Amino acid sequence: MDIPFWNREIETLDRASLEKVQLERLRQMVSWALKTPFYGRKLASAGIGSPEDVKSLRDLERIPFTVKDDLRRGFPRGLLAVEMSEVVRIHSSSGTTGIPTVIYFARDDLDRWTDLLARSITATGASSRDILQNMMTYGLFTGGLGLHYGAERVGMTVIPIGGGNTKRQIQTMKDFQTTVLHVTPSYLLHIHSQFENEGVRPGDLAVKRAFIGAEPHSENTRRKIEDLLGIQAFNSYGLSELNGPGVAFECVHRKDMHVWEDAYLIEIIDPKTGQNVEDGQEGEVVLTNLVRRAMPILRYRTRDLAFVHPEPCECGRTHRRLSRILGRTDDMLIINGVNVFPSQIEERIMKVPEVATNYLIHVDKKGALDRLTVKVEIYPKLFLGEAARLEALRARIREELRSSIVISPNVELHEPGSLPVSEGKAKRVVDERPKD
């Protein structure tokens, strides 16, 4: 197989040289991070007052972890390491408390991030001859714009269609003979389920590849996508704290994702002890961004569970591979690619005066899509009124939730005592999505 490279030299760098690059960049990151009071304190506690105090990559383990709450507490500018006039882009992701996390990019940050995506896209075998339909949400999410820039750098023909509107997605695939899709796995399966309705016949479409990510999925789901659509599907991993997509991406072999190790230091830790584990062992992914100046992030605990492959990939890249994401250490739900925390839901519904004390979050699958239902108990006298009033209440709760969690859940109203109560720790979330 002819293996394509965007930057063969850096992608196949021998381990010792790669580690030299990492150490240089880590020192650079420390010097940038020291510009923020937040990392000033954190690094001081590790005895690091200047970049020279980082003598080897092992010194990384002395630096305390950064967690999502650190980013929230610093909202909005706490971790900004440059003047705002140098910032050319802001992205943001949703949070548990309604306080989002904000990510800042300087021009050179965007340039380096874009290059990682160009590298990722090229590793899949896609090229300037391809037509990309980017179905990820544009806007504050990193998924849409992030990959868009990388695709343009590769020279692909980019259709920035964004998420949703299945009919139009399918028509666009036909009209422009799209060859590559960027999409969440659940949405891609949903789109496929509509092929018949939309009169898609074999030979109508030219899709050969899909980049799938932003939500957990199994190897079986990938196979299903590949078989149903007759394409190759490539797993893509990233998170906004570490720029967004382009942290790790599958190459033509589709045997887990190369982490671009000149740009990110990856550690797998035991989430209980915080200690590093060996390659091959499952644990929490901890990432250090080596390429962002406007907002440095060191040792970020992703709460994603995975392992690093000890053995090299057949493609010749020396950057190690990350397994697919096997779970999360926290209770975050991912509903059709959008992150939702149960606490966000609780916070909103408990503000509604008509709501009694018990509620339940129910998640299942309808066809290929995740379906979120929030069941709430309301006071009994409300059921005596007119049906229209109940309907209005339901709509109000739904809107209240939508404004916080972005997606619009089903809302069910129940009489007090009708939802299950558990003894001990309440089980508020029932997730019936197949784990396959």
Q: Considering CB distances under 5 to 8 angstroms, the limit depending on partner class, which of K ion, Zn ion, ligand ADP, none binds residue 315?
A: Zn ion
> What is the closest distance, in whole angstroms, from the C-beta atom of residue 97 to ligand ADP in the complex?
15
Cβ distance to ligand ADP smaller for residue 48 or 265:
265
**Are residues 344 and 404 in contact, defined by beta-carbon separation less than 8 angstroms?**
yes
141 binds ligand ADP (CB under 6 A): yes
325 binds K ion (CB under 5 A): no
Among 10, 43, 214, 290, binds K ion (CB under 5 A): 214
* 385-408 exposure pattern, b = at least 16 Cβ within 10 A, e = fewer: eeeeeeeebbeebeebbeebbbee
Q: Give residue 187's identity as a one-letter amino acid code.
A: Y
Cβ distance to Zn ion smaller for residue 145 or 313:
313
Cβ distance to Zn ion smaller for residue 112 or 321:
321
Cβ distance to Zn ion smaller for residue 23 or 259:
259
Among 125, 150, 163, 213, binds ligand ADP (CB under 6 A): 213
Tokens of 93: 């992701």
Site string for Zn ion, 310-349 (x = CB under 5 A): ---x-x-x--------------------------------
Q: Give residue 129's identity as a one-letter amino acid code.
A: R
Burial of 12 (0-12, 13-18, 19+ CB in 10 A): middle
The rounded radius of gyration (Å) of the Cα atoms in the chain is 23
**Are residues 78 and 55 in contact, defined by beta-carbon separation less than 8 angstroms?**
no
Q: Considering CB distances under 5 to 8 angstroms, the limit depending on partner class, which of ligand ADP, K ion, Zn ion, none binds residue 63?
A: none
Residues 6+ apart with CB under 8 A from 41: none
Task: Pick the piece of the chain touching Zn ion (CB under 5 A) from 250-258, 335-343, 369-377, 383-391.
Answer: 250-258
With vertex at residue 309, the alpha carbon angle to CA 308 and CA 314, rounded to the nearest 5 degrees, is 140
Half-sphere exposure of 119 (CA within 13 A, CB side): 26
Cβ distance to ligand ADP smaller for residue 151 or 325:
325
> What is the closest distance, in whole angstroms, from the C-beta atom of residue 134 to ligand ADP in the complex?
13
Q: Give residue 363's identity as a one-letter amino acid code.
A: V
Indicate the residue whose CB is closest to K ion: 214
Proportion of the chain in helix, strand, coil states, percent, rounded to 5? 35, 25, 40
> What is the closest distance, in whole angstroms, from the C-beta atom of residue 368 to K ion in the complex?
17
118 binds Zn ion (CB under 5 A): no
Cβ distance to ligand ADP smaller for residue 74 or 238:
238
Tokens of 246: 């382009």
- How far apart CA 42 and CA 8 sit, in angstroms, is 36
Among 214, 229, 265, 345, binds ligand ADP (CB under 6 A): 214
340 binds ligand ADP (CB under 6 A): no
Q: Considering CB distances under 5 to 8 angstroms, the limit depending on partner class, which of ligand ADP, Zn ion, K ion, none binds residue 141?
A: ligand ADP
> What is the closest distance, in whole angstroms, from the C-beta atom of residue 334 to K ion in the complex?
6
Q: Supply the DSSP symbol for 276.
A: B
Strands 209-213 and 232-239: parallel
- How far apart CA 255 and CA 112 sit, in angstroms, is 25
122 binds ligand ADP (CB under 6 A): no
**Are residues 86 and 108 in contact, defined by beta-carbon separation less than 8 angstroms?**
no
Cβ distance to ligand ADP smaller for residue 247 or 393:
247
257 binds Zn ion (CB under 5 A): no
Size of the site for Zn ion (CB under 5 A): 4
Size of the site for ligand ADP (CB under 6 A): 21
Among 235, 243, 288, 404, binds ligand ADP (CB under 6 A): 235
Half-sphere exposure of 219 (CA within 13 A, CB side): 7
Check the CA dihedral 403-404-407-412 and report its sign: negative
Among 110, 239, 335, 340, binds ligand ADP (CB under 6 A): 239
**Are residues 139 and 164 in contact, defined by beta-carbon separation less than 8 angstroms?**
no
Between the two ends of the chain, the Cα-to-Cα distance in Å is 31
> What is the closest distance, in whole angstroms, from the C-beta atom of residue 304 to K ion in the complex?
10
Chain contacts with ligand ADP (rule: CB under 6 A): 93, 141-143, 213-216, 235-240, 244, 302, 304, 324-325, 337, 339
Chain contacts with K ion (rule: CB under 5 A): 214
